[in-house]
C-alpha cells in the first residue's frame, strides 16, 4: 500500500516528512490544486521516495475561461489524463 504526502520543497529534496502539508492514505487520491505555485508530493513508505516515487507540480496563476460543450469535455479529459499520469507515477511498483 502507498500513500501520497504533500511536503515542503526541503522535504521533497531530502525525501523526508518533517514538514508535511497533507497526507492521503486511501486511493485513488484526487487532489485539487487551486493555489498557484509549486507543490511537492512523495510516497512516504520505506525507500519509495528515494527510489523516485515523487512528483513536483507547478500551478500557474491565471484565469480559467468558462467552457461549454466539447471544450469542457476536452478539459475534463485532459484533467483526468493528468490525474491518471499522477497516479501512475506515484503508485508505480518499485
> Mind listing the pLDDT tens digit for each residue in 40-67?
999 988 899 999 999 999 998 876 555 5
44 or 80: which carries more pLDDT confidence?
Answer: 44
pLDDT at 92: 56
CA 47 vs CA 23, 43, 53, 62, 94: distances in Å? 17, 9, 9, 37, 9
Please give the backbone phi and psi of residue 51, each rounded to the nearest 5 degrees, phi first. Answer: -95, 10
pLDDT at 38: 93
pLDDT at 94: 52
- CATH number of the domain located at residue range(s) 4-91 in this protein: 2.60.40.420
pLDDT at 19: 87
Residue 69 banded pLDDT, cuts 50, 70, 90: low
pLDDT at 90: 52
Range 1-6 average pLDDT: 87
The three grid cell numbers given for residue 6, joined into one nine-digit string: 504533500
Range 3-25 average pLDDT: 93
Amino acid at each position: 500500500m502507498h500513500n501520497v504526502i504533500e511536503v515542503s520543497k526541503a522535504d521533497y529534496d531530502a525525501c523526508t516528512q518533517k514538514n508535511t502539508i497533507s497526507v492521503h492514505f486511501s486511493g485513488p487520491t484526487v487532489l485539487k490544486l487551486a493555489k498557484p505555485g509549486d507543490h511537492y508530493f512523495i510516497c512516504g513508505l520505506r525507500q519509495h521516495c528515494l527510489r523516485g516515487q515523487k512528483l513536483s507540480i507547478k500551478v500557474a496563476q491565471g484565469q480559467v475561461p468558462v467552457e461549454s460543450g466539447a471544450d469542457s469535455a476536452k478539459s475534463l479529459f485532459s484533467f483526468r489524463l493528468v490525474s491518471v499520469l499522477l497516479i501512475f507515477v506515484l503508485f508505480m511498483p518499485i
